[in-house]
Structure 1
């Protein structure tokens, strides 16, 4: 199956002075011709930023957690994770949890702001199912026999911006996981409902279905298939969509009717590992000046890793993306990255990694026109960037 970043799992935490320390960070030096971006070459779709040699940023997130045994199997957990990206503080998380209650010994109850990232496609830096990152309360891991149940209720506020949204939005999510449906296969369902006083668009609902299959077609090949749909101000991933933000001056966006089909493959066979993805996504605007207009995004690409030794591997990533919008010409962007890499182990998921990369990106005239304020400025049609980057999680 597609793996969660180990930094998000307490089982991978580093213990220091009685605290569990988790984290994620990346950064480096980046070079590009004068006046051109050092990264973030994308047409704007959720699945369209193939990230290897295309990030061009620096940041770190460090979580400090503590679990206390209170007695009678009762546990109290505390967690706080601030973040800093490109010199600016970012969305922190902090919550308290309890577990070991006699009514549901395996369930974990929590309150605060907690990331509830279910599953990502790492090479495009996107958690396709993710219902945290707002202040709320909920529960995870309650056994139903045939599945595990999680749920959460949320406001639109965050720890950093206590009243960030002008529209009184609230959200509820239900998460059913570990539903065995076939040999080596499991189903997961995430349902979303959003309410609020919206100036554009409607209250919304969303449903995501995920099927994870181990040993897909052959041993060591794992497949994840996502089928997702949402309406109004419910996002495809399970979060809010387009609420606006008083603190930053961001205006409320229209709601959307969205659909996504995505399939991801992961493998490690000896020295050869990697991840590949194909995705189609559409969104029809519900309100505002673009009411009724549709955007269709396609992405296909892969990152492969070949280890020549325990500490040296070669990474190669290719991606091709397109965007079609009603009344506009079709945009196309392609990128390829080659990155000799030093690592502590040979497998695809081993971190930290020190990468030395060269990335070439090209796009068509429609993409240049649509991004004239960014990578398409001056009518550019291609660029090459280079750099050295460290990525680590723990």
Structure 2
């Protein structure tokens, strides 16, 4: 029979101390592991945040006309207008890509951005190769925030390209597109204020042709430099913007413009100062009728700012007495299986190109998407652009109606979701003094066109 060792108080105390020691060591080990895991997760989060990010946009595809021949990269656009209905009407090939990298040091941060753009069309400010293709630097700037003396604002400097657009018309109505410096997010009342200064030269060449086909030649190879002081203020559903500009050179220039078949040469004098103001209100429903939103925008510019309404930077000069104003209503409505984007716009320019010049543009249109399911939509777009241009002695006036049907593949049921793969067919009808001669494969005796093609589009 085995001897039984009796337990006494000393034995029990020793056993208790051993258990307490084991529990304490386990608790310390658990806390150490948790701290190590937390530290490792923080390091991974920092590495992820500071990793190089890639963002971009592109559209690529082809367009052919009714004869089966290539239509090149021609935009289906009314003369003397500031936009076009882009579903089936825009250039086939365009790409913008941007890289960014964030840096964190003791709570402060900086983020660097660098972007390039490629496009397959004529445009006045870019360098071309022998095939009329171009690549240019779109942005190169740095932002800094959470600095010790100003933790709630963001500073920036470099070349930026920020904008807001009327998507259906492929028209940017407000841009900061220039080298500059600024600060964002200053508390003011119930909103936030941004301030910026930009500085840019006019076109590099003595002679250039703008997007409307107007050729401008500066005297004595002048290249005026425009400086802009701008402010933006956002509060609730409101956004206000304004800028003052000065110009380094009041040089004269000549304008070669064909109006209703008559080519004339006119003289302008570059404005030495200018101003731009904008007000936008965003209604968080579609006129109170259904889900969606509506943007109401009014803009006015004079002097140097009238050359390209709403753009700060990368513009040429306006005539000394130029004025430019625009109002539009841009809506997006959502129903069960439908989404509809509508636009109504009016813009008028006086004396912008030269004394006595007038240009009016107005448009009404809509794009709808009917979703057969989450991945297949039928898109329809219809719009009319009306415009006129006149000098003191000559005037032309007309319009362009476009109708597009585009079966579209998507990843989800949302109007602005991308990527999309779409096939499209577009019928265009010119009216008044306008014709289809600007489109590849057509001449001045043609007043309508039929084109079709396929395109991929994505932004990310």
TM-score bracket for the superposition, by shorter chain length: 0.7 to 0.9
The 5 Å alignment of 1:297-336 reads 297-326=361-390, 327-336=394-403
Aligned-partner SS, 1:107? strand
In structure 1, stretches of 5+ residues that fail to align are 1-14, 181-185, 244-251
Distance 1:212 1:297, change over 3 A: same
Distance 1:44 1:355, change over 3 A: same
**Post-superposition CA distance 1:59-106 (Å, at most 9, x none):** 2111110111111x2101111011111231134201011000244323
The 5 Å alignment of 1:265-276 reads 265-276=331-342
Give the whole-Å Cα distance in 2 for the aligned partners of 1:172 and 1:95: 18
Distance 1:44 1:69, change over 3 A: farther
Question: Which piece of structure 1 moves more, 95-104 or 26-35?
Answer: 26-35
Q: For residue 353 of structure 1, what is the aligned residue in structure 2?
A: 420
2:324/2:352 contact within 8 Å kept? no
Aligned-partner SS, 2:444? helix
TM-score of the superposed pair, with normalisation by structure 1: 0.84
Q: For residue 167 of structure 2, what is the aligned residue in structure 1?
A: 122
Question: Which piece of structure 1 moves more, 165-174 or 260-269?
Answer: 165-174
**Post-superposition CA distance 1:193-232 (Å, at most 9, x none):** 1111132242211101111110231341311001100011
Q: For residue 96 of structure 1, what is the aligned residue in structure 2?
A: 142
4+ aligned runs moved over 6 Å, structure 1? none
- Is residue 409 of structure 2 the alignment partner of residue 342 of structure 1? yes
Distance 1:286 1:339, change over 3 A: closer
1:173/1:238 contact within 8 Å kept? no
Give the whole-Å Cα distance in 2 for the aligned partners of 1:343 and 1:125: 20
- Is residue 54 of structure 2 the alignment partner of residue 21 of structure 1? yes
Give the whole-Å Cα distance in 1 for the aligned partners of 2:194 and 2:89: 35
Aligned-partner SS, 1:367? coil
Give the alignment partner of residue 174 of structure 1, picking from 231, 239, 249: 231
The 5 Å alignment of 1:152-301 reads 152-157=196-201, 166-177=223-234, 179-180=235-236, 186-196=237-247, 197-199=249-251, 200-202=269-271, 203-215=273-285, 216-234=287-305, 235-240=308-313, 242-243=315-316, 254=319, 256-286=322-352, 288=354, 291-301=355-365
Q: CA RMSD in A?
A: 2.5
Structure with the greater alpha carbon radius of gyration: 2
TM-score of the superposed pair, with normalisation by structure 2: 0.72
Aligned-partner SS, 2:415? coil
Distance 1:374 1:343, change over 3 A: closer
**Post-superposition CA distance 1:213-258 (Å, at most 9, x none):** 1023134131100110001121421425852xxxxxxxx5535301
- Is residue 183 of structure 2 the alignment partner of residue 139 of structure 1? yes
Q: For residue 6 of structure 1, what is the aligned residue in structure 2?
A: none
1:208/1:236 contact within 8 Å kept? no
**Post-superposition CA distance 1:297-333 (Å, at most 9, x none):** 1111011111101110011111101112234242111
Distance 1:140 1:16, change over 3 A: closer
User: Aligned residues, how many?
Assistant: 357
1:129/1:190 contact within 8 Å kept? no
**Post-superposition CA distance 1:264-297 (Å, at most 9, x none):** 1012223211211000000012463xx1221111
2:85/2:170 contact within 8 Å kept? yes
Give the whole-Å Cα distance in 1 for the aligned partners of 2:70 and 2:456: 24
